[in-house]
Each structure stands twice: as C-alpha cells, then as structure tokens.
Amino acid sequence: MRVVFMGTPDFAVPALKALVGAGYPVVGVVTQPDRPKGRGKKIQPSPVKQAALHMGLPVLQPVRVRDAAFVEQLKQLEPEVIVVAAFGQILPPSILHLPPRRCINIHASLLPRYRGAAPIHRAIMNGERETGVTIMLMDEGLDTGDILLQQAVAIGEADNAGALHDRLALLGAELLLQTLNLLKRGCLHARPQEDSFATYAPPLTREDEIIDWERPARDLYNQIRGLDPWPGARTWWGEQVLKVWRAGVKEEAAPKGALPGQVIAGGEEVVVATGRGCLSLQEVQLQGGRRLPVAEFLRGHPLAPGTVLGRSKGGCHS
C-alpha cells in the first residue's frame, strides 16, 4: 500500500517511524516549511522533516497544500492512502478525494470530544480523567470524519501535557498500524461521530497562559500542568513575569483576609491563596532565568509572605 505521510511536530514522528518499520512504502512525506525557532530565531526543519531525511524519505514542503502545482505533484506519487498526523494545514477536497483508500487522520482525543488544534492541553486544563486517540476518515469538516479505531487512555493526577503527549503519540502509531492492517483485509467498518456530544479544543492563546488567582486552586493546578512543557502558565511578581511549571493543591482555606494571589507562606515553600483553597508552588521561572525548584529559587529570590502575585483585570499589577 503506497503511503503519503503528512505531519509536522513531534507528535507525528512515531507514526512515521512505525510505517517505515512495518515495511509500508512511504512514497512521500509532506511537512510544513522550515520556520524560525528558539531564542535565536534560527530557521529549523520540523521534527517530521528531520526524521524523514534520517530515514532517506523524499520530503515535500508546500507553503499551501491547496495550490494546483502541489496537488499535481501529489497525484504523481500515486498514493493509495494518505496518513495525516498534526500536519497544520486544512486539506482541500482535491487532496481528500485523491487516494482510493482515502485520507486517514490520527487525532489525540476521543472524538467527537475535543475536536480542534489543542486536544491534549485542553483535556488536562479541563480536569479530564480520560482521553485517547481516534483514527478517522477525513472529510471537509474540523475533525468530523467517521471513526475507524479508537482507544482510551487514563489521565493521571500528576500528568502534564508533555507526558500525555508522548503516550498518545506512541498509541497513535500503534493504532495506525492496526487500522492499515484491517483496511488491507477489508475488515474495517467506519462509524459516524455523534455530533451532539462534540466539544472543541481551540488553539491556545496568550490569555490561556495567565493565572487568574480568583479561580479555585484545583483549576489552577490543572491549568499549570496542562501548559507544561509549553507554553507555560504565568503570573506577575512586581513588573516581572513569573512562570509556574509545577504546583500542588492545598485544600485548606486561606487565612481570613488573604487576597487571591497573596503569598501566605514562604521559607522552603511558597503557598499562595486562591479563590478556593491554596496552591503550593513547586517549580518556577522568573523572567530571563531558568526553571528552578522553588526551594532553590527562593535562595536567590526571597518571596516574602504578604506579597501579592498577579495583576488586576484592569491591567495594573497588584
């Protein structure tokens, strides 16, 4: 079965490696153009491009997949199936209907829940206890195609987005091979999604990173781990951004009169009052610095009880 693979970030790499390892002829790998990354903004290839070149696979990097010249290039490869994993561009009908065995997508949620760009982050941020991977036939909607295979995964209490991402990427590769094997044998039966149960996972915004100390501690804990290792939850300490990478929930109420965002304990531990309960900061990063366990951070940056983190809704620092 001739395969064209379309993907860009780390999430897609295990699936590409699984295809090659299983002996599928990958006749082309399509990924996003090289982009500037990191502090130095150096032009870098995507993780999928790096993996493809390492395996000696031909790489295509169209600026727009809907351009007629690229669609014609894709036709010349004569793929029987196109596998898509976090590619980053919407496929036009001219590509969706090109391969005889259709376009198959690996999506990191239990569809129809968490359709969209950020299903892993959003599931953790919303406090979900379960997510999974769905292999689906692609159509012209946003993750609305018929389901081929699906498998659930528990979200652990301490899981962050990075840990869950890695587990789901490996599961996606495994389910992909199962799907193609069943497809070859004619044993696969697609089922439509129940649109009435659909929820959405829109792309992360800068606002999603801001810690609102008036929210309950449990919600903030989920937000922090859902944004680790990227892009990170943040608050303000005076005029500087303070990122919070790890935290713990303390269910006991803050002392009477404590403001949301107010440090109520310092020393070897930083405990902050929230809208309900308290949050224990465990790993932080001050603007321009590096991630540090809070005990190490406090040796160079004393954070005294009474300090109020964050800023008011009007934009002024608290």
- What's the CA gap between 144 and 76, in Å, rounded? 28
Which of 211, 204, 207 lies closest to 121, judged by CA?
A: 204
Does 110 show up as a binding residue in the annotation?
A: yes
CA–CA distance, 281 with 278 (Å, rounded to integer)? 10
The whole-angstrom separation of Cα 3 and Cα 24 is 7
Q: Taking the mean position of all CA atoms in its chain, how far away is CA 65?
A: 23
Q: Are strands 292-293 and 278-286 parallel, antiparallel or unpaired?
A: antiparallel
- Is 196 marked as binding a ligand? no
Placement of tokens 């149960």 in the chain: 197
Question: 104 near 137, Cβ under 8 Å?
Answer: yes
Collect all residues with Cβ–Cβ distance below 8 Å to 247 and sequence separation of at least 6: 220, 221, 224, 225, 279, 280, 281, 282, 283
280 assigned ligand-binding residue: no
Which residues belong to the annotated binding site?
109-112
Which residues belong to the annotated binding site for (6S)-5,6,7,8-tetrahydrofolate?
109-112
